[in-house]
């Protein structure tokens, strides 16, 4: 592993990552590694940079999303479509532990940077490749975004109300799931490299496969019973009662599906008859009468405000929760107590509240060591680190290879 001691302490201190991806999936993996101490060098196109810089809401010329996605990274503006830019990339990769890319399959090969050539250059390299459909198979060359992965992975079919247009969950969950699977793959490959002679490997993550991996019993139920699971709104089919229930001023989610939890829930809403009904003592019996149970709970919640419902259920030790908005999250004391809302100074001259680091390692916790970089902020520093002189850098800048 890289032994650069300029990287602050962290579980991944000494791991150098070259991030060639853009937008969400690849960069989210880089973000996660960076939060735990890895030195992440992000390669961006001169002039335009990562498109995420301009996505959604902009403050002082840069997306506030960028401030989260690219913290703890260094930015180098490098034209990977030029021969000189590709040569610089190879030099960086030769000294790296990890390469992250989320281009369409074949792109790096077209630049002379396929796995065979890069692993010959750096046998210990761990390479994460995130794409729509993976590096093999009949669909490998098709373009694919996270939304398509969510559809092909089975998630979109289950999201929404029955017999309505499938809806998305509101965030780019397909991309993020791919990034998290990629991060697991990187950490696994780094461990394997450490204990098995220093050999690197490729991690091949397809967006739809990352989604499919969290689809629980979807395919086994089809295989065993021919059952095609359908959308069910806010309910959890086959597990009861677990649903969203209307209150006077909003909704609460109530998960009363454990046997003892169900009994306490029925008692606290004044339905001792249901609490003591032997047919409802287990999940199978409750599923058979789920409409009756949902109606009973709904009658109780409909006459009460959300805060009262939550207080009563907390006292009865029944899992329940409010449907949080961004305002609710930002003002919640539990989020604050666990450092899940942090204030980050940006390089654009303002402060913004951002999500904290997950997961929480008690011995080597993740940190916000540096704010998200401007395009090419670290180009000169990074190039000097691989032996280029000021004259070399100036010449490359004159040709538009770097910025």
Domains of the chain: 16-213+340-399 (3.40.50.10540), 242-323 (3.30.1540.10)
Closest among 264, 253, 258, 173 to 210, alpha carbons compared: 173
CA proximity to 207, closest of 281, 277, 155: 155
DSSP code for 305? -
Q: Determine the pLDDT at residue 236.
A: 86
Indicate the burial class of 216 (C-beta count within 10 angstroms; 0-12, 13-18, 19 or more): exposed
Mean pLDDT per block of 10 residues along the chain (403 residues) reads 51 97 96 97 96 95 96 97 97 98 96 96 98 96 92 94 89 96 98 95 98 96 96 90 96 96 98 97 96 97 98 97 96 97 95 96 94 97 96 96 96
- CB-CB neighbours of 391 under 10 Å: 8
What confidence score (pLDDT) does residue 5 get?
Answer: 42
Q: What pLDDT does residue 21 have?
A: 87
pLDDT at 9: 74
pLDDT value for 3? 39
**Distance from CA of residue 205 to its chain's centroid?**
13
4 is catalytic: no
- Which is catalytic among the residues 79, 97, 175, 294? 175
Annotate 246-303 with DSSP letters as a single string.
Answer: EETTEEEEEE--SHHHHHHHHHHTT-HHHHT-GGGSSHHHHHHTHHHHHHHHHHHHTT
């Amino acid at each position: 592993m890289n032994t650069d001691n300029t990287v602050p302490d962290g579980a991944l201190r000494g791991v150098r990552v070259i991030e060639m991806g853009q937008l969400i999936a690849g960069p989210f993996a880089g973000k996660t590694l960076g939060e735990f101490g890895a030195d992440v060098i992000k390669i961006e196109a001169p002039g335009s940079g990562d498109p995420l810089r301009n996505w959604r809401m902009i403050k002082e010329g840069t997306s506030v999303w960028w401030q989260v996605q690219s913290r703890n990274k260094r930015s180098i503006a490098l034209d990977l479509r030029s021969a000189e830019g590709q040569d610089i990339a190879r030099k960086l990769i030769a000294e790296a532990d990890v390469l992250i890319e989320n281009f369409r399959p074949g792109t790096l090969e077209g630049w002379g940077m396929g796995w065979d050539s890069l692993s010959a250059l750096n046998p210990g390299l761990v390479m994460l490749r995130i794409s729509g459909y993976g590096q093999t198979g009949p669909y490998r060359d098709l373009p694919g975004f996270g939304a398509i992965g969510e559809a092909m992975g089975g998630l979109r079919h289950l999201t929404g109300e029955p017999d309505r247009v499938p809806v998305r969950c509101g965030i780019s969950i397909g991309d993020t799931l791919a990034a998290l699977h990629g991060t697991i793959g990187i950490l696994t490959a780094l461990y394997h490299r450490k204990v098995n002679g220093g050999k690197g490997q490729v991690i091949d993550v397809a967006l739809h496969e990352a989604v499919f991996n969290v689809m629980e019993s979807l395919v086994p139920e089809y295989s065993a019973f021919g059952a095609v699971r359908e959308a069910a709104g806010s309910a959890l089919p086959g597990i009861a009662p677990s649903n969203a229930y209307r209150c006077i001023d909003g909704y609460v989610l109530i998960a009363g599906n454990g046997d003892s939890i169900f009994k306490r829930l029925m008692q606290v809403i004044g339905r001792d008859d249901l609490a003591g009904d032997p047919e409802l003592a287990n999940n199978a019996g409750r599923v058979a009468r789920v409409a009756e149970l949902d109606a009973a709970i709904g009658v109780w919640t409909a006459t009460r405000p959300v805060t009262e419902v939550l207080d009563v259920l907390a006292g009865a030790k029944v899992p329940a929760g409010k449907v949080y908005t961004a305002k609710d999250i930002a003002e919640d004391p539990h989020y604050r107590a666990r450092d899940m809302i942090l204030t980050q100074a940006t390089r654009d001259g303002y402060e913004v509240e951002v999500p904290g680091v997950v997961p929480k390692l008690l011995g080597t916790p993740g940190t916000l060591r540096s704010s998200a970089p401007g395009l090419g902020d670290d180009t000169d520093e990074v190039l000097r680190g691989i032996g280029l002189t000021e004259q070399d850098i100036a010449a490359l800048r004159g040709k538009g290879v770097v910025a």
